[in-house]
Amino acid sequence: MCFFFSFIPATLVTTLSYFVWYAAGKAEGNRKRWGNYLAVWLLILAVGYIAMGAYVTFAGICPLERLFEGAVGG
């Protein structure tokens, strides 16, 4: 469950990353370089969201699963 919910912030961060990358492409000099660095960092952050969501789900420590199990009486 947490794995699928981790796609929400990952999608938002990826979209922001592409916007930054587009804006960096229009810039010149240091702004272009730092814009590219920021875009790559945001993509790494998006991959981290998905990796952590997978870890929490497969390790069995997802708080959402416990919440839903309690709600349905399981």
Domain count, the chain: 1
Answer whether residue 74 shows pLDDT above 70: no
Domain containing 52 equals: 2-72
pLDDT digits (tens, 9 = 90+) for 51-64: 999 999 999 898 88
Question: What CA–CA distances, in Å, run from 63 to 10, 11, 31, 34, 69?
Answer: 19, 21, 41, 37, 10
Is the separation of the CB atoms in 42 and 24 below 8 Å? no
CA 62 centroid distance within chain? 17
Q: What is the pTM of this model?
A: 0.83
- Provide the sign of the torsion angle of the four alpha carbons 25, 31, 37, 43, taken in this order: negative
pLDDT given for residue 70 in this prediction: 73
pLDDT digits (tens, 9 = 90+) for 12-62: 999 999 999 999 999 999 999 999 999 999 999 999 999 999 999 999 898
